[in-house]
């Protein structure tokens, strides 16, 4: 297959997928429910067949790549288009697992496990907590209507096409032979010895030698973010002494939204 | 590595679509996390292409930044929800100036 034909097929697949996303986005129009599914799954299948044919043998491709890429892209599409936020979060977890699989195929074990722990463990739990805190009665209208779906899909299509074109053009000039063993999960070592440890130790050494200062700065940044999150989202719970000195109505106007009922109402009468 | 980079680009593009079109604040920020994932895939893929560990190191820093972004964004979401009782982005149109 020539490079031009491949590019045109890829663009056609992207147009198909974009149409699928457009019809799947929550909006007012009525079309058959199966339409976005047919378009989206056809685009996904075409994408996988073209890319799998072109690049699969060796180079970290093969069956596992097709599996993880399909699950990642499908669940990303569902995150974007699902009308219920909690289901979006669940599909996001599925996508995180698929992306972690892709990273394993790239022999980045530490990043893969860190991705599962941080995204699937910490961030998504926080999201679900906020969904419970900020719950709306019934099925709110802002989940059932998108804002400018056509423009968004066009922007996404342009961005993706540009990125893929740049990747396909520029990457051919780069070396392709991997230094690390990418496929040890797909093909474990022949003898019964231990699975190769991969490069986790090397990543740790790099982080603690070459990127020592950035690592410390990242830690400080996390601390600042924690303090900032507490400061932004805190609820003002008035204590009895403060209320006697300055009643809630005399506080600055910006504090008005943060008022809460005191925890111990019986103490207030003292 | 081309196919990994293209999967990363697809995740990034889908995240952009969600960021631009959804009206629920929480889904908007979930879409940014999707874009982070596309970036992580690209970092690691290109790190392996160039046969060094900088890609993985930057992916780890990216995870830290993602955690920071999520915590601050969700704190803001809680604050905004407490002010107006809705997660609709369009309610905050006055901030456009």
pLDDT per residue over A20-52, tens digit each?
888 888 877 777 778 888 888 888 888 887 777
Give this prediction's pTM: 0.81
**Fold assignment, B2-85:** Helix Hairpins (1.10.287)
Query: In this structure, how many other beta carbons lie within 10 angstroms of the beta carbon of residue B69?
Result: 16
Radius of gyration of chain B (CA): 16
Are residues A86 and A15 part of one domain?
A: yes
Do A84 and A34 lie in one domain? The reply is yes
**Mean per-residue pLDDT for A117-145?**
85
Please identify every stretch of chain B with a pLDDT value under 50, giving residue numbers as ranges. Answer: none
* pLDDT (0 to 100) of residue A237: 57
- pLDDT confidence band for A73 (50 / 70 / 90): very high
On whether both A93 and A147 belong to a single domain, the answer is yes
Mark whether A44 and A164 lie in a shared domain. Answer: yes
**Does the pLDDT at position A57 exceed 80?**
no
Query: Is 90 exceeded by the pLDDT of residue A90?
Result: yes
Say what percent of chain A tops pLDDT 70. Answer: 71
- The CATH number linked to A106 is 1.20.120.1200
Whole-angstrom distance, CA of residue A151 vs CA of residue A22 = 10
The parent domain of residue A208 ranges over 199-233
Q: Do A127 and B70 touch (CB under 8 A)?
A: yes
Q: Do A164 and B6 touch (CB under 8 A)?
A: yes
Residue A82 has pLDDT above 80, yes or no: yes
Task: Verify that A107 and A137 share a domain, yes or no.
Answer: yes
Provide, rounded to the nearest whole percent, the portion of chain A with pLDDT above 90. 23
> In Å, what is the CA distance from A118 to each residue of A11, A72, B32, B57?
34, 17, 15, 15
Same domain, A240 and A165: no
Question: Cα torsion at B51, B52, B53, B59 (round to 10°)?
Answer: -70
**What integer pLDDT is reported at residue B81 of this predicted model?**
85
Q: What is the pLDDT of residue B20?
A: 92
Q: Are residues A56 and A32 in the same domain?
A: yes
Among residues A36, A16, A18, the alpha carbon closest in space to that of A26 is found at: A36
The predicted pLDDT at position A174 comes to 55
In the structure encoding, which two tokens stand for residue A133, read together?
Answer: 């805190």
pLDDT at A190: 43
Same domain, A98 and A192: yes
What are the residue ranges spanned by the domains of chain B? 2-85
> Do residue A121 and residue A65 come from a single domain?
yes
The beta-carbon neighbor of B77 closest among A52, A56, A134 is A134
Q: Is the pLDDT of residue A261 over 60?
A: no
A interface test, pick of B53, B73, B80, B92 with most A CB neighbours within 10 Å: B53
Is residue A241 domain-shared with residue A220, that is, in the same domain?
Answer: no
Q: How many domains does chain A have?
A: 3
pLDDT at A56: 52
Q: Is the model's pLDDT at A178 over the cut of 50?
A: no
Chain B window 46-65: which residues touch A at a Cβ cutoff of 8 Å?
47-51, 53-57, 59-61, 63-65
């Amino acid at each position: 297959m020539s490079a031009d034909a491949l590019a045109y097929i890829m663009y056609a697949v992207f147009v198909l997928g974009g149409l699928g996303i457009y019809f799947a986005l929550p909006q007012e129009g009525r079309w058959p429910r199966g339409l976005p599914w047919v378009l989206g799954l056809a685009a996904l299948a075409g994408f996988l067949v073209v890319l799998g044919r072109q690049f699969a043998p060796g180079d970290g491709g093969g069956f596992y790549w097709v599996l993880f890429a399909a699950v990642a892209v499908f669940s990303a599409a569902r995150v974007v288009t699902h009308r219920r936020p909690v289901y979006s979060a669940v599909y996001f977890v599925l996508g995180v697992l698929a992306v972690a699989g892709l990273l394993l195929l790239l022999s980045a074990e530490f990043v893969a496990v860190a991705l599962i722990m941080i995204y699937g463990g910490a961030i998504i739990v926080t999201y679900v907590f906020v969904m419970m805190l900020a719950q709306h009665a019934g099925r709110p209208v802002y989940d059932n209507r998108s804002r400018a779906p056509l423009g968004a899909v066009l922007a996404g299509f342009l961005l993706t096409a540009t990125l893929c074109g740049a990747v396909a053009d520029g990457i051919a000039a780069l070396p392709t032979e991997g230094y690390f063993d990418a496929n040890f999960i797909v093909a474990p070592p022949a003898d019964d010895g231990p699975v190769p440890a991969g490069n986790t130790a090397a990543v740790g050494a790099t982080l603690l030698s070459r990127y020592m200062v950035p690592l410390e700065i990242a830690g400080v940044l996390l601390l600042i973010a924690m303090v900032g999150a507490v400061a932004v989202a805190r609820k003002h719970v008035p204590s009895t002494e403060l209320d006697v000195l300055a009643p809630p109505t005399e506080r600055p106007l910006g504090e008005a939204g943060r008022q809460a009922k005191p925890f111990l109402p019986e103490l207030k009468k003292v | 590595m081309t196919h990994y980079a293209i999967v990363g680009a697809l995740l990034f593009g889908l995240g952009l679509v969600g960021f631009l079109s959804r009206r629920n604040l929480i889904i908007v920020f979930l879409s940014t996390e999707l874009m982070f994932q596309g970036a992580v895939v690209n970092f690691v893929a290109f790190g392996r292409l160039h046969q060094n560990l900088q890609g993985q190191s930057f992916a780890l820093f990216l995870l830290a930044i993602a955690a920071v972004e999520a915590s601050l964004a969700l704190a803001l979401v809680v604050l905004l929800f407490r002010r107006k009782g809705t997660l609709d982005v369009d309610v905050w149109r006055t901030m456009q100036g």
